[in-house]
Amino acid sequence: MTTFQVGQHVNISFDIHPGANDLPGVKVSFPFSRARVEALLDQIQADGEPVEALPLPRRLPDPDDECFLAAALAGKAQYLVTGNLKHYPKRNRQGVQVVSPRDFLELYRSAHG
């Protein structure tokens, strides 16, 4: 898991290992082509600064989600954007705001309109 700071406003975390962002058995529909997504990730890697995520002091209900919170903490992210809000209990978030994609876009637009 790597976190990249993009510009002055947003830290973006994602796993740079091949296949790590694939969701086996889950069909996800986005209005973006795979080529556009890969181009965006390439740009993030080119302009971003990687950080090293450390193990969490408190476990999450789903251990597979711990790497995302660890990366957000290492990158000093204000938000962790996820569709799995219930996997991140408030007591375990360590100051990171966990929000849905829709809520993040609303927050971002209101702050950076």
- For residues 55 and 51, what is the distance between their CA atoms, to the nearest angstrom? 13
How far is it, in rounded angstroms, from Cα 110 to Cα 113?
5
Q: Cα-Cα-Cα-Cα dihedral of 3, 91, 112, 75, to 10°?
A: -20
Two tokens, residue 5: 């700071």
Range of the domain at 56: 2-112
pLDDT at 13: 57
Number of domains, the chain: 1
Looking at the predicted structure, is the pLDDT value of residue 72 above 70? yes
- Of the two residues 75 and 47, the one the predictor is more confident about is 75
Phi and psi based region of residue 96 (left: phi greater than 0; alpha: psi -120 to 50; beta: remaining) = beta
Of the listed ranges 22-36, 53-67, 88-102, the one predicted with least confidence: 22-36
Average of per-residue pLDDT across 26-44: 69
Determine the pLDDT at residue 26: 43
Q: Give rounded-to-5 percent helix, strand, coil for the chain.
A: 40, 15, 45
pLDDT for 86 equals 92
The pLDDT of residue 18? 46
Residue 66 three-state SS: helix
